[in-house]
Amino acid sequence: MSYVLVCLTANHRNAGFDLLDRLSVGAPGAVTELISAEAGITGAVVVATCNRFEAYLDVEGVDAQAAVDRTVAVMSRAGEVSGAELLEAADVKTGDDVTRHLFAVASGLESVVVGEDEIAGQVRRSYDQARTEHTSSSALDRLFQRAAATSRAVRGATDLGGAGRSIARLALELATSRVTDWSRARILVVGTGSYAATTIAALHDRGAVDISVYSATGRAQMFATKYGVRAVAELREGIAAADVVITCTARYAVSPAEITDANRRLVIDLGLPRNVDPAVGRLPGVELLDLEIIALHAPLPEMGLSETARDLVGSAASAFAAEQTAAPAIVALRKHVFDALDEEIARAESRGQGDPAGTAKTVEALRHLAGVLLHTPSVRARELTAEGRGAEFAAGLEALFGVTVDASADAPVSPLRHAAEVTAAADAPVGGMPDDEFHRSLRRNA
Catalytic pick among 15, 50, 59, 424? 50
Nearest 5 degrees, angle CA 98-CA 99-CA 102? 80
Evaluate whether 247 touches 271 at the Cβ level (below 8 Å).
yes
H or E segment and range at residue 141: helix 138-157
What are residue 376's DSSP bridge partners?
none
Closest alpha carbon to 253 in 240, 229, 272 = 272
Euclidean distance between CA atoms 82 and 30, whole angstroms: 16
Is residue 50 among the annotated active site residues?
yes
First to last CA, the chain: 33
Helices then strands, each counted (H, E), the chain: 17, 10
Q: How far apart are CA 227 and CA 322, in angstroms?
A: 45
Q: What is the 3-state secondary structure (H, E, C) of 43-87?
A: EEEEEEECCEEEEEEEEECCCHHHHHHHHHHHHHHHHCCCHHHHH
> Roughly what angle, to the nearest 10 degrees, separates helices 119-132 and 96-106?
120
Q: Give the neighbor-by-neighbor strand order of the sheet with 244-247.
A: 230-231, 210-214, 186-190, 244-247, 265-269, 286-289
**DSSP state, 112?**
S
- Report, as residue numbers or ranges, the catalytic residues: 50
